[in-house]
Structures are given as structure tokens and as C-alpha cells.
Chain A
């Protein structure tokens, strides 16, 4: 790993952040595109959530009874009703730990 490669990666990353904010004016996007953009959070974040749950560190699918699935389900239910970020994260983690350290150990 060289500093040059990091700088190139950094410049590329910066361009992904800056391009749409600084170089594109909002008028260039039509109303239809704006309506579709309303869905960006729902369309992007599951691509981080699903692999984070269903694919393990070695890039293979987890089994159907993996504790992560239950942890995620608990977090969804708690998050939905509590509307609280800390409660969502902690409930998911604690139920996951409960399963790996107590139930499955």
C-alpha cells in the first residue's frame, strides 16, 4: 500500500461525494427523477444490511438458524415500535449475544 494509491482512492471517493452536490444543478433533474430519488435511503441501505446479516466473513451464506437473523428480527421489531436508534442497535446486539453465548454455547 502506497500513499499514492490512497490519494487516488481518496480523490475518487471525494468525487463521488462532490459531483452531484457541486457540479449538478437541481434544475437538471426532472420531476420524475426527483420523485424516484425520494426512495434513495430505502434503495441503498438494504445493500449494506442484507449482506451484513446473511453473508459471513468468508463471503458465503450463513445458515438459516444463524443468530444474526434473530438479532436482526428483534432489532426490527424494537426499532419499529420504539423509534429509538440506541434501543434498536442494543436490542439486536444483546439478543445476538444471548444466542451465541448462552443458548448456542
Chain B
């Protein structure tokens, strides 16, 4: 049985390789906000209040393009609706926590943290303080996200644009799912999601980000039927 501290540290270690993509993306995100002419304090407030990389950039771009606040806020909600799926998966492991703890831990659930903690949870179901792993991944991501976006706001985009570091984002997620390519059913689900996301890319409010996972999960349900 691992202690709380050990689990927290393990979470920090498991998430740390992803900082390779999180830090440049955070810097870009902060720099874009200032470049688009927004108040630096508000640009930073997004990192603290919204705390969701892609949705922050979309929010800035929509508003600078003249979209109404209502449209920008709705888009953020839709882009981040994928967290509902993460929550549904995590709920099994967080069931025993008190309501207050559930409310607090929810704030730090983000893509990479969910992915790494979920992998750890599956292998270590019996651990008593499992949620400390999620706190470890979540808090590490939070701290680095704040520092990275702040650096981007203060120093501007000191990461040369020619390097195309935004490309690190798809790479980070490739690293997360690549081992599941061993399983044919997962490959089918991934391709369904990926192709749907390209097909529905122009759907309003960036809704491709939730439409394509739902289509892919529907296909997963069909595959489960076939397996029986």
C-alpha cells in the first residue's frame, strides 16, 4: 500500500514528460492573448479561472474576431464538455471521497492528467489513497500551466514561431494512446473519432471535439455487441 505522499509524487512523475508540450503551448497561449491586444491581467485570469488550454485560445480568437461573449462562452463550454466523459470514467475511483473533496479535485481534471491517472488507476485499483495520484498529475499541470502562460504574457512569444511547437500537442496525445494501437477494437474507435473530427471540423462552436468522441463511443458500443 502506497502512502499519500508516494502516490502524489508518482502522479507528478507520471505527468512530467508531458510538460514538453504543456510549457510551449502555455507560452504560446499567453503570448497570443497579449498579441491580440487583450488586457494582460484578463489573459492570465483565464488560466486561473478556466484552466483549459485549447478553450482559452479559442475564447481569445473568437472575441478578437468580433464574436459576442455569448458565443465565446458557449464555445468554451462545448470544447470542455469532453471532461464529462473523463468524469464518468474517474467517478468509479473517486466514489469514496467526500462531496467536498470531489468538488475540489474536479478543478484539476485536465486531458493529460486524466489520461495518466486513469492508466495508473486501472493497474492499482486496490490502493486506498488512489486520488492522490490524480492530485499529483493535476497540480503539476496546474502549476506549470500558470507559469507558462504568465511567461508568455510577460515575455511575449519568445518561442520562435518557425519551430511550430504547437505540433507538440498532437504528439503528446499520440504518446498517450499509442500503446492501445495493439488492440484492434481500440484502433477502430480511434480512427472513427479521428475521421469524424476532420469531417465535422467546421461544425459550429468547435463541437467536433464532442461530436466525434460520441460517434466513436457509439461504434465502441457496437463493437462490444459483436464481441459477445
Contacts and interface: CB of A to CB of B under 8 A. Distances in A.
Interface of A: 1-10, 12-14, 16-22, 24-26, 29, 32-55, 57, 59, 61, 68, 71-72, 75-76, 79-80, 83-86, 88-90, 92-93, 96-97, 100
Task: Give the secondary structure class of A's interface.
Answer: helix
A75 B169 CA distance: 12
Contacts of A72: 170-171, 174
B189 A42 contact: yes
Contact of B189 (A3, A8, A39, A51): A39
B150 interface: no
The 6 closest A-B pairs by CB, nearest first: A20-B87, A52-B170, A10-B49, A85-B17, A46-B194, A43-B216
13 contacts: A2-B69, A13-B83, A22-B103, A44-B85, A45-B190, A46-B190, A46-B197, A48-B169, A52-B169, A53-B167, A55-B201, A75-B174, A93-B171
B50 to A, nearest CB: 5
Q: How big is chain B's contact interface, by range?
A: 35 or more
Given A41-B177, A72-B170, A49 B194 contact: yes
Task: Give the secondary structure class of B's interface.
Answer: helix
Given A17-B106, A53-B170, A89-B21, A12 B176 contact: no
A36 B175 CA distance: 22
Interface in B110-152: 111, 115, 118
Contact of B217 (A3, A39, A61, A75): A39
A70 to B, nearest CB: 11
Contacts of A4: 69
